[in-house]
Structure 1
């Protein structure tokens, strides 16, 4: 039987802290005796505790410790930031906010070295979520800068780092372990083991011309480099943290689209000790960033299948076919109700799932499909694959909520009112060849969100994956005026989320 043992953290810890992107248990799960909201509306302000405008747009998640929130935005954007390929900026700012009001308490400059596309389809310079331990907070600018601050805003250290190209650390999120800050980047230019650069600038498709990326670590209080995982890591690998025989391990991958130079392609498990010793590797599989770990297994997607791997050995325990199989419960708009299950091979999409959207809960594994308005679930015990159609957008007219199942309005208005230019894929429905926010699980409720600000709350324990498993479909704001690639954060009985224009605290006053 495949299970995730959800260890109940102390009540105080569960209520007050979401210290980094992966949450308090490093697996996007929160188990708490506190009740968290599942229904709200940003359009009608229903069950919204407060909302506060942000100075500028950004991708980062929100780190929480007690009454402090931490996130990253771009510095103020201007028309000078627009070029032939859209809006590209490297400089960002870190922010500390009051968790009770959203008021900005302090901010800091994170200058960066290489511009990234603002509101990028997958990431931008603001994508890394801050990390805090209650005494310090660490900000990372994916454009090439990291810094440590005290909780009252005093800078302890800051340092630049070199960025390879726009696909530099597309999925990886920084984290703390044993006094070290981890992030994915190249070896330093003076490192004799660094591979030379022969690719032209911003050529993301060069197969061999770029130096490799690595998961590297730095002394959290000094910024001094302290270690490197010698196996390398792809820009597509978000990295999954887990525990094996009492030691923390990182599941990391090579490979993916745009011909990452790190070879051989496959997936690896490494210990987070001084030597960063490799535990095992699996070559030849097209794993990207769609991985997850529980106590006994690693879970990964290939081009067509879902793999369950033994966490200790990397050997395949189960291989479950995903493409062209399963059942679908679709919504009949004319009848106004869900249909009976039908075969799912009619789901035709080149993408099995939307990037970064998979998560495990007990014997089930969930994901956003590659086709608009489709959520998927895999029963690992029975190997049954189930799909459920969900609305793509929430519309409120005359105070009444209704759903749109195919049509939608999009827009990424920024906190400053600046109009972003560039890749128009960011203005799509949020499924398929785009990243979405990594879902989180709070007390066995999954929170999926799309770029449109549509949020699906799913009962992860439901026996049948049908309309009854869909607890709620919520919105973060008006259609056409709401855009986000940021993950949810849960702390103190409230949910926190940010869009390109504001930060929102969801839930009643406690």
Structure 2
């Protein structure tokens, strides 16, 4: 009996310890599952005794259990429960392969140019006075336009992929651009009217140029259920939306929110204005739609959150709500079983900002929301709110923090996945500083500079890292969405430059390590050479219309939040390279860079996704494929 009593005590102690490790926001029975975007407790962090894949390659097949082709791109995280995976994609569109579009466009362009030059030469031989006058009238405006481009720092500094967009913006907005455009259009119009064939050729070229730029849009998205052991599609269901959204935009699209599952049901969220609940076997339980306030889904404006029986989502107020601003966004809570709205916060949040679930210093459930940012986001005041999820206080703000500085400087913090813990909340200041707010009180704690750093830079001649002390960075920008907190440290991927950074929020110490841009065919790292990708889906179609999507992996876009498994942090860049960082590294040098892994072929892979970890496997995705990592 004494032995039995001791065993019972030990079991109770073990159960108690396990219970203490569980956060009050953890989804029940979700250990070794990945039920929503941020995992079991919504933090994008998990601790496990299972073997964790650290090194792999889709290109060589190393440590890959399976991969499966996706019929179209998408950006959602991957929810996992037992032997089922859930993710969303955009509906396939029947457009020609991009290789064929380019072939036809080149032929049409050659024909148009030849015909245009033929008409021009004919007008020159005739000494057409109006033609010669229009041509001469372009000289001064063209010279001024070229001078502007030559001296425009932003235009000269952007990548070749971004140059056409910046060129067109300058043409529309500057006096030199408008003046030259006016004269150029008059000149071309006169040449065109001199030939019916040229008019037809120009019309055909314009049509093909639109196809050449790429792009597709849609209101609805597809929820896929995948067999976690084989990659086979078990079922798919449409989730209706209300507004058209561009496919595979580098900052988000309608598929951005990760599905949610509790093992019984699965919920899909369409950022174009829809939500639906299905059984785990694909039977519809309920569905609803709404209209996003911005006129389109824009940036990673939220991600999925399940708390107890509530689904949290970001939407404008309901029609007829006179207590809230109709053009602002708020946090809404819905009954997961019925889809009925339970409460709406009084405080707004910016659609750039991704709320994060967490636990307060006294062990109470809460969610952090933020406001601010560029492009005229209207929600005010700029700053943060900690929203209670306690039964008696659900949807109520525990505190409000407002920065003293104007939105242009301070509002950049809202362009983040809003990571926080029981002690502090993270907030970026226009890329130059990082600020922390006390999660207990909402009072400002620290404001530390980010632009003075210790750097570990790779020397290609010696093939070793060199330490550079007190490096002063100028016009430093941070990848607002690609960050995560661990203890006193904040980790983030630097925008525009291939560096990973670690910032100590208490001491202000900054460290950065250079990352390789790519891996060559021999498995060697490529340093200091910006890369590109084709931007194509698995069917060879160019359904993303934004050329920045085809950038070098560190371009201007919103990447998914990194995922932390034990002491490893997994960052994924836009080219589908996954950098594995040791969060506990004593110095942020070569010892901190554990592995650099690929998700697909060089120049043909694109991703803005977070990975998921469940049952000893990592699940990840690109525009082309869904991948199961860990070959056991």
Q: Return the TM-score normalized by structure 1.
A: 0.90
Cα offsets for 1:17-38 (capped at 9, x unmatched): 0100011121110101112011
Query: After superposition, where does 1:343-362 map in structure 2 within 5 Å?
Result: 343-345=470-472, 347-351=473-477, 353-362=478-487
Cα offsets for 1:239-263 (capped at 9, x unmatched): 1221123321111111111111111
Q: Does the CA contact (< 8 Å) of 2:300 and 2:558 recur in 1?
A: no
1:337 aligns to what? 464
User: For residues 626 and 394 of structure 2, what CA distance do their matches in structure 1 show?
Assistant: 40
Query: Is 1:483 aligned to residue 610 of structure 2?
Result: no
The alpha carbon displacement at 1:499 in A equals 0.6
1:65 aligns to what? 81
After the TM superposition, which of the residue ranges 272-281 and 356-365 deviates more from structure 2? 272-281
Counterpart secondary structure, 1:344: strand
The alpha carbon displacement at 1:87 in A equals 2.4
Q: Higher helix fraction: Structure 1 or Structure 2?
A: 2
Q: Does the CA contact (< 8 Å) of 1:169 and 1:185 recur in 2?
A: no
User: For residues 258 and 412 of structure 1, what CA distance do their matches in structure 2 show?
Assistant: 26
2:235 aligns to what? 106
2:384 aligns to what? 267
1:77 aligns to what? 93
1:154 aligns to what? 283
1:202 aligns to what? none
1:316 aligns to what? 444
User: For residues 391 and 145 of structure 1, what CA distance do their matches in structure 2 show?
Assistant: 40
Query: Is 1:36 aligned to residue 52 of structure 2?
Result: yes
Find the partner of 2:565 among 434, 442, 445. 442
Cα offsets for 1:424-468 (capped at 9, x unmatched): 111112325311121010011000001101110000000100011
1:375 aligns to what? 500
Find the partner of 2:318 among 184, 188, 199. 188
Query: Is 1:50 aligned to residue 66 of structure 2?
Result: yes
Q: Measured at CA, do residues 112 and 416 of structure 1 come closer, stay the same or move farther in structure 2, by a change above 3 Å?
A: farther
Q: Does the CA contact (< 8 Å) of 2:355 and 2:370 recur in 1?
A: yes
User: For residues 168 and 369 of structure 1, what CA distance do their matches in structure 2 show?
Assistant: 22
Query: After superposition, where does 1:86-485 map in structure 2 within 5 Å?
Result: 86-164=215-293, 165-168=295-298, 170-195=300-325, 211-244=327-360, 245-273=362-390, 275-284=394-403, 285-286=410-411, 287-290=413-416, 291-303=418-430, 304-322=432-450, 324-345=451-472, 347-351=473-477, 353-397=478-522, 400-431=523-554, 433-485=556-608
1:19 aligns to what? 35
Q: Measured at CA, do residues 312 and 87 of structure 1 come closer, stay the same or move farther in structure 2, by a change above 3 Å?
A: same
Q: Does the CA contact (< 8 Å) of 1:430 and 1:436 recur in 2?
A: no
User: For residues 420 and 404 of structure 1, what CA distance do their matches in structure 2 show?
Assistant: 30
User: For residues 275 and 576 of structure 2, what CA distance do their matches in structure 1 show?
Assistant: 29
User: For residues 289 and 407 of structure 1, what CA distance do their matches in structure 2 show?
Assistant: 25
Q: Measured at CA, do residues 25 and 130 of structure 1 come closer, stay the same or move farther in structure 2, by a change above 3 Å?
A: same
Counterpart secondary structure, 1:426: helix
After the TM superposition, which of the residue ranges 455-464 and 286-295 deviates more from structure 2? 286-295
Q: Measured at CA, do residues 239 and 193 of structure 1 come closer, stay the same or move farther in structure 2, by a change above 3 Å?
A: same
User: For residues 532 and 299 of structure 2, what CA distance do their matches in structure 1 show?
Assistant: 30
Q: Does the CA contact (< 8 Å) of 1:344 and 1:387 recur in 2?
A: no
Q: Does the CA contact (< 8 Å) of 2:535 and 2:544 recur in 1?
A: no
Counterpart secondary structure, 1:258: coil
The alpha carbon displacement at 1:418 in A equals 2.2
Q: Measured at CA, do residues 415 and 85 of structure 1 come closer, stay the same or move farther in structure 2, by a change above 3 Å?
A: closer
Counterpart secondary structure, 1:468: helix
The alpha carbon displacement at 1:280 in A equals 1.1
Q: Measured at CA, do residues 224 and 168 of structure 1 come closer, stay the same or move farther in structure 2, by a change above 3 Å?
A: farther
CA RMSD across the alignment: 2.2
Q: Does the CA contact (< 8 Å) of 2:609 and 2:620 recur in 1?
A: yes
1:203 aligns to what? none
User: For residues 508 and 405 of structure 1, what CA distance do their matches in structure 2 show?
Assistant: 32
Q: Does the CA contact (< 8 Å) of 1:361 and 1:444 recur in 2?
A: no
2:125 aligns to what? none
Cα offsets for 1:65-121 (capped at 9, x unmatched): 1111000001112339x7888322222100111110111111101121111121111
1:201 aligns to what? none
Q: Does the CA contact (< 8 Å) of 2:254 and 2:297 recur in 1?
A: no
User: For residues 369 and 484 of structure 1, what CA distance do their matches in structure 2 show?
Assistant: 17
The alpha carbon displacement at 1:218 in A equals 1.0
Runs of 5+ unmatched residues, structure 2: 1-19, 97-209, 404-409
User: For residues 542 and 297 of structure 2, what CA distance do their matches in structure 1 show?
Assistant: 23
The alpha carbon displacement at 1:194 in A equals 4.9
Aligned residues: 484
Q: Higher strand fraction: Structure 1 or Structure 2?
A: 1
Q: Return the TM-score normalized by structure 2.
A: 0.73
Q: Measured at CA, do residues 432 and 102 of structure 1 come closer, stay the same or move farther in structure 2, by a change above 3 Å?
A: same
Q: Does the CA contact (< 8 Å) of 1:77 and 1:418 recur in 2?
A: no
Q: Does the CA contact (< 8 Å) of 2:312 and 2:333 recur in 1?
A: yes
Counterpart secondary structure, 1:77: coil
